[in-house]
Structure 1
Amino acid sequence: MPTELDSKDGILIRIMTVADYQPLKTLMRGNFFKGEPLGELYEEEWVKEYHDEFYLSKIKQGTCLLAVDENNGGRIVGYVLAHAQTPDDVEKYRKKAAAKPLLSHITHVDASMRGKGLGSRLAAALMEVGRSKDFPLMAAHCTSFYSARLKKALGMECVYSIAYADYKDASGQVVFKPAAPHTHLRVMVIKL
């Protein structure tokens, strides 16, 4: 499979390499956590060493994508962190798996590049990566209203949804309180 998947208007979408991880990590700390509805809850966790191993293992699978602005020195303007989800992973989260889906773990587009279709291009390119690697399904956990809307527009179906207001701790307090319009966590799936 070619490493360059899509090029349009100076934006190249390509498969991520291990060498991309450090610039990506800097970018994520600088703006992903500020734009993600639940980002503030795990931003501090990001600095822990196990995240490096976790994300590098995903990159090594050849399923993670970068969008770079070729007219601006190759600046990263979007990315998808995705990986094979095994039955053991699913059990860890108390779910059963009938197939081994490609899980789109994180999709992010730099704020300066939003509204230009880059998120759709990244998701569509990831679907092609999944097809080329014979994944039967692609799934995405959408914590953002906008990411769920984008995935739906690409034909993904919501197979599970929970309102943040319904997710409470043992004392009955709502755990997650992101700003509107981010009201639900959704699991979106598409057959590849």
Structure 2
Amino acid sequence: MALNTKDGITIRIMTKEDYKDVKAFMTDDFFLSEPLCQSSGERVHHQNEKENDEYHLSMIAQGTCLVALDENNGGRLVGFVLAGAQFPEDVEKHRIEAEAMEKHTWGRICVLLSKIEIEANLFERFGISKVLYSHITSVDTSMRGKGLGSRLAETLMEVGRSKGFPAMVAYCTSFYSARQKEALGMQCIHSLVYADYKDDQGRPIFTPKAPHKMARVMAIKL
């Protein structure tokens, strides 16, 4: 079911059948451009792969993920959002899972995300018992700067409202994704500066290139 079509780009709900293409897209695009993965020099897409596939498929099953298809180019995948419901008990679950992970880049990213999730204290702050979590958004390099990321986020907000979510949250590790979310009315409710986030030896754990200086928790009431 097409949720909206504009300039030949159709956005619709992602299906399980879409995941093969989405996963390939993530490997070629998201993991190469996301600042923390990009700066690691590791093959992050192979880290925790089985668990990540299961997690992504569980989100797709909720009907809360989106694909953007270029109708002028044979329906080619040009963007997607993986998103799903989160509940208060997930905060502790994520902390335990992150601590148990291998100490590779993906494991370190999950520890960072768990830390800012705990500190943002979203459920108590907003007085809510569930939230729509926008997990990964990726847009084809050829489509960047054309507003497709914003369209995907706006469409996800509509899906969230239709499913009765009181709020939507995104953890933005990239300066550009945070700026885009801010332009859509999302507020930064917590942030962590990478230079201040250090290991036991006092060295920054992540050193992405400028302008990526911090991770931000962006949220909006729906």
Q: Please report the TM-score for the alignment, with normalisation by the length of structure 1.
A: 0.94
Instruction: Report the Cα offset of residue 31 of structure 1.
Output: 1.5
Q: Which runs of 4+ in 1 moved over 3 A?
A: none
Aligned-partner Cα distance in 2 for 1:58–1:185 = 23
Aligned-partner Cα distance in 2 for 1:17–1:31 = 20
1:7-156 to 2 correspondences below 5 Å: 7-40=5-38, 41=40, 42-45=44-47, 48-92=49-93, 93=114, 95=118, 96=121, 97-98=123-124, 99=128, 100-156=130-186
Aligned-partner Cα distance in 2 for 1:39–1:138 = 24
1:173 aligns with 2:172: no
When you count helix as a share of all residues, which structure comes out higher?
A: 2
Aligned-partner Cα distance in 1 for 2:24–2:209 = 25
Paired letter, 1:144: S
Count of residue pairs the alignment pairs up: 189
Instruction: Report the Cα offset of residue 12 of structure 1.
Output: 0.3
- Aligned partners of 2:29 and 2:138 also within 8 Å: no
**Which ranges in structure 1 are unaligned for 5 or more consecutive residues?**
none
2:188 is matched with 158
Aligned-partner Cα distance in 2 for 1:169–1:31 = 29
Deviation track 1:157-190 (CA, whole Å, cap 9, x = no partner) reads: 0000111111111111100111111111000000
Aligned-partner Cα distance in 2 for 1:177–1:75 = 34
- Aligned partners of 2:195 and 2:206 also within 8 Å: yes
Instruction: Report the Cα offset of residue 44 of structure 1.
Output: 3.1
Instruction: Report the Cα offset of residue 13 of structure 1.
Output: 0.5
Aligned-partner Cα distance in 1 for 2:50–2:92 = 24
Aligned-partner Cα distance in 2 for 1:185–1:167 = 10
Paired letter, 2:84: H
Q: Which has the higher contact order (CA 8 A, sep 6+)?
A: 2
Secondary structure in structure 1 of the residue aligned to 2:52: helix
- Aligned partners of 2:66 and 2:82 also within 8 Å: yes
Secondary structure in structure 1 of the residue aligned to 2:91: helix
Deviation track 1:82-140 (CA, whole Å, cap 9, x = no partner) reads: 11011121223363533211000011111000011101100000000000000000000
Instruction: Report the Cα offset of residue 32 of structure 1.
Output: 1.1
1:5 is matched with 3
Paired letter, 2:152: L
Aligned-partner Cα distance in 2 for 1:191–1:51 = 27
- Aligned partners of 2:16 and 2:57 also within 8 Å: yes
CA RMSD of aligned residues (A): 1.3
Paired letter, 1:120: S
Instruction: Report the Cα offset of residue 51 of structure 1.
Output: 1.5
Q: Percent identity?
A: 60
